[in-house]
Chains A and B, each alone.
Chain A
């Protein structure tokens, strides 16, 4: 099996799901890594350490920023020159888009967001969640090459082998740009929810701390938002101690407490961290759909009937404004922070 794996990165920093895709590729045989961008020597070195056997490097100023059309054209040319049986992408924003375009360019189909793979003859059968994970579908594509995107954190990340190296072949950048990138507004120092090992999420309940004294001069809505911000600040502190990210329920986002980028759920981010804390989140189906595949779920809620307790391994029925600071302190003590 001749497998190409797209190594998704931002400014030379690979997304972890790229290495998981390499792991999947290795289970099928030889892996050729596709590295597109500009000034990517360090990334190619890392890719070999994660198990890539050879690299096709399109290193060109025109590829410095990800742009769908030129990246897709680069890929199309590589396929025309070398062919392949299998094309793997991590299911990232770029990976999903490129895979979709590659299916059109290479006259085949795309199987999106695989969480499991099985071989059947020379075809792969992919298991993918649909209806936000309420249902699993087994799908396949009879056309070649087979294009599959792999959900992050659904497959193991290979252990890097320091010093491992391999051949790098330069390939030309594609043409056909339709966009220009003006710049980035980057969320600074924030751990991406989809990559996080630990997520501490809050719901509407975060605005209900009775012991807070809001500053004077705020109207009712501003007071509520101010209260919620204090509540989310508390979650941020615990997430900081655990090296995790802060998420939110749709109710908290719709109430204007936190930005949409933090929303976990069917119409937000789908996450699967090792540990998920649901604080003041009742557990609507909408929310459960986005976090049910977390390895360990902990629910803290004052309502013992809240549906979140049905999916949680550990639960605390109580006042989260007392429990969370105490829990943060307990983690600090145990983790030596």
Chain B
């Protein structure tokens, strides 16, 4: 009974469940899952999608940089492998090794790195200070790439990603504001109008059951 209460009082963030193998560029299926989470209530739907955390996986605080001395290609390969294995926290040193060598506007890499940061902020056995620090790094990465990318669709994709991450962390009004901004940037973004309407409804009626809010998937 106490264990149950404790888990309610301080529920540890959970790791995400197994994902299908990602295609090289646009992981449509995965993005649909993300979109569903975004639409259906972030943590609420996330609980159904995520599985419990593994035992302690945080490295010792003073661990040396495992990507030091690696070539960018080696680090990129390792980052992608760890990310696909649901080990986002461990993938970060490799992404960080690669990041300075990628063009600021390289959208696919930048979004993947930001997503890895966001996943890591939720999945690892780390303290909240580090979780938040990872999210600040994630949001900074998105801000950088938003400034660097060309064209409304690319900008909107970055903004939608930020909306998703803010929603998962519990900022519903900020998420709606970002989605509206994305729609203003790219009114033809597929399914975005419907997504905005659903999110707005969630804000108006927060206690609606999750399955009452079904809608189109959304990619970023």
Pair from one complex: no
